[in-house]
Amino acid sequence: MSLFDDLARAGALRTLDHAFAQSLRRLDGATPDEVLAAAALASLAVSQGHAAFDPSRPQLHVEGAFAWPATADWLRALAGSRWVAQPAAPAGVSPADAPLVLENGLLYLRRYREYERRLASGLQRIAASPESNAGVEPLGDLFAVLFPEAKAGEDLQARAAAMALRHKLLLVTGGPGTGKTTPIARLLVLLAARAVQQQQPLPDIALAAPTGRAAERMAESLRSALRKLQGKVDATLLDALPTGARTLHRLLGTIPESVDFRHGADNPLRHDVVVVDEASMVDLPLMAKLVEAVADGARLILLGDPDQLPSVEAGDVLAAILHAAGDGASLDAEDARLLQPLLSASPAADDAPRAFAARRVHLRRGYRQQESLRLAPLAEAVRDGDADAALQLLRGGLGGVHFHENLADPLEAHRDILLARWRELAATDDPVAALALSARLRLLAAVREGAQGVHALNVRIGELLSGVRRRAATEHFHGQLLLVTENDYRNRLFNGDVGVCLRGADGALLAWFPGETEGNPRAFHPAALPAHDSAFATTVHKAQGSEFDSVWLQLPRNDNRVLSRELVYTAITRARGELHIAASEAVLRAALGRHVVRVSGLSPRLSEIASR
């Protein structure tokens, strides 16, 4: 019996994976079994979020006992196949048009190898772009106003802003509420001031995020940061800065019925500065297209939390870029010297050579949660996978954190509390007010299907709120929360956008979604919407980029391979004021003991390109 057939019989492969390998077998009946199995697993790997298949770790992709080939034998079979290209092989030895690519021990679908190669090349281009030789001294007085603590000691927000004056590719990372948008707002003021001083046009700045809700949050945070600068900074500088943000799809310019965008390498963005929030959510294909669209000489600033779940689609892009850039704990000697007029007199300096020219600043202090929510110690324990510490904190009591141990059904045990919050949506006929209320409460689950999956939960919630027995969660009713699950470029509705169904004075039911500007929502007939679900309960993945006043996290009764410390961390850090966790000790321990691993060659590829 062959490995490929064993995988198929065990149900380990999707129909698409099996069909792909079968097509190779039909085209060449002599294709070795190892190649067929690897081809199917390379296809499966992409669906699981990996950029490639690693023959040395097939257990990452498939559970169960299979007769895996020795890694060396597997690689040898792949290297000799007509279906596998090898970029490092001599000309004529490797087929140029093969559907698979073997590189650095990883097997890629050709398209994803190209995405990774293009992304690495584009990042290196931006990072290596020379900065103006103009010194920072003329900005000293303004910098001191914006960052009054910068000279007194280690102010990481000040460091982030200062580093962006020197480098075209900046990575600003940190956990929830560490104030990542604060240094960005002040950096943008500095860039505008530098342009005025040098009698140049004000910089053209774009703000973007992966989802509509994340873009809204980014814009809200930036507007708040800029309001705090009023009266301290020249008003003309503040007026020159953007106050709105777009999804990445809107920024790049969607083309109906196409995976390509209007902006790319041949038609770059006009912007001098591109700032992207929630970068951990950006997958490999989208990040590759974004980076290629950034014009030569422009700045790219990526903001994100490396401890959150990676993107649902292929790639753990932010983590790979951060790994190549280093931890950013210290400045290199040249940065320390040139930025001394702005920062502490003696910042830590590192003379070690950098393989990749991007710079990273990791913020540590948390700001966001309300005083009543003491989330930081729990988030730290979860991030570190320390189940003992996490359980001790949960059982000991933390302000605003409630542990419902062994509670299998929060919707039954706390029905009145939950329904009261959701009924507020139906109590208003104002779409702006309803959309504002949409972030009051969210029930988060790890899985879509099953009794504790979001589909079943949304059906139950819909029945309780509408008083009508429902066949599906997408049967619409007044006060229903909606979540778009696929991109609709014509109507400019994108995966992750949240809306509310409201019945108008004429009795017609309309779905309202945020518009381009605050306070101007857009209305759609529900039948005209792209694929969507009810959003009273959502998966943790779908909640990324959002915040809610109150979060209820429901973990399944039994362990599931989708559970991980990143999933729990992402879920609990969506809470602004109140967090409820319903879970058993066994399942919580299993989740915190599992770490998300994504196969990718991006980090070594960045270092390889930089060292040439």
What letter represents residue 101's amino acid?
V
Residues contacting residue 76 through CB under 8 Å, at least 6 positions apart: none
Q: What pLDDT sits at residue 261?
A: 87
Q: What pLDDT sits at residue 380?
A: 87
Q: What is the DSSP string of 68-107?
A: PPPHHHHHHHHHT-TTEE-TTSPTTTS-TT-SEEEETTEE
Q: 3-state SS of 399-427?
A: CCEEEEECCCCHHHHCHHHHHHHHHHHHC
pLDDT of 61 above 50? yes
In terms of phi and psi (left: phi > 0; alpha: psi -120 to 50; beta: otherwise), the region of 336 is: alpha
Of the candidates 584, 582, 581, the residue with the CA atom closest to the CA atom of residue 558: 584
- C-alpha 355: how far from chain center: 25
Mean pLDDT rounded to a whole number for the chain:
84
- C-alpha 242: how far from chain center: 22
Q: What pLDDT sits at residue 346?
A: 52
Q: What pLDDT sits at residue 367?
A: 43
User: Tokens 């429902």, residue?
Assistant: 470
Please tell me the total number of residues recorded for the chain in this structure. 612
Which pLDDT band holds residue 345 (cuts at 50, 70, 90)?
Answer: low
**pLDDT of 352-398, one tens digit each?**
666 677 788 888 765 445 555 678 888 889 988 999 999 999 988 77
Task: Please count the CA atoms within 13 angstroms of the CA of 337 that sit on its side-chain side.
Answer: 5
**pLDDT of 305-314, one tens digit each?**
888 878 777 8
pLDDT of 348 above 60? no
Q: What pLDDT sits at residue 163?
A: 85
Which pLDDT band holds residue 506 (cuts at 50, 70, 90)?
Answer: confident
**SS3 call for 3:** helix
Q: Are 551 and 579 in contact (CB under 8 A)?
A: yes
From residue 247, alpha-carbon distances to 49, 219, 275, 279 in Å are 21, 11, 11, 12
Percent of the chain with pLDDT over 90: 28
8 vs 91, higher pLDDT: 8
Of the candidates 567, 598, 593, the residue with the CA atom closest to the CA atom of residue 308: 567
Q: Are 552 and 374 in contact (CB under 8 A)?
A: no
339 vs 32, higher pLDDT: 32
Q: What pLDDT sits at residue 117?
A: 92
Which pLDDT band holds residue 77 (cuts at 50, 70, 90)?
Answer: very high
Name the DSSP class of 471: S
Q: What pLDDT sits at residue 274?
A: 94
